[in-house]
Amino acid sequence: MIKPDAVENGHVGGILDKITSAGFKIVAMKYTQLSKRDAKAFYAVHSERPFFGELVEFMTRGPIVTAIIEKENAVDDFRALIGATNPAEAAEGTIRKLYATSIGENAVHGSDSDENAAIEGDFHFAGREIY
C-alpha cells in the first residue's frame, strides 16, 4: 500500500518508479480508500498496541494505492527497498527515508511474509483483478 500521507504529498509516481525500477512486477493495483472496518481488520494484529486508534484514523483519512507486486525474494527485497518502520532509522535511498515523515505516517506498507502477502492480496483484490 502507498499510505494516505504519501498520496496527499504527491509521491505516488515517485514510489511506483522506485518499485518498478527495483525489478518488481505489478500484477494488481487500485486507487481506493479504506473504511474504519477495513483498517481495523487489516491491522488486527496491532489491535492491542497503544497506537492502534491513531493507525486506523491515519489509514482511513484519505485514498491509498494498493498493489500486489511480484519478484524473486519479494518480501525481503521489498522490505529492504522501503526501509525501517521509523524513517529516522531508514537507510539512505529507501522509500521511507525519501518520502515518510514519521513512524506512524511512513508512506508505504509491505507484507512481512509470503503467507501474509497472500492474505493481504486477497483482502484487497478479487481473483479476476490479478493479472
* Contact residues for ligand GDP, defined by CB under 6 A: 46, 51, 54-55, 85, 103-104, 106, 109, 112
- Partners of residue 65 on adjacent β-strands: 2, 31
Cβ at position 84, least distance to ligand GDP in Å: 7
| Smaller CB separation from ligand GDP, 66 or 106 | 106
Cα-only R_g, the chain: 14
Cβ at position 128, least distance to ligand GDP in Å: 28
Task: Report in angstroms the alpha-carbon separations of 2 from 16, 42, 48, 57, 97.
Answer: 9, 14, 24, 16, 14
Cβ at position 131, least distance to ligand GDP in Å: 26
| Smaller CB separation from ligand GDP, 38 or 112 | 112
State the helix-helix crossing angle for 114-124 and 74-82, rounded to 10 degrees.
Answer: 80
| Smaller CB separation from ligand GDP, 85 or 129 | 85
Residues forming the active site: 109
Tell the residue number behind the cell numbers 494484529, with chain if given: 45
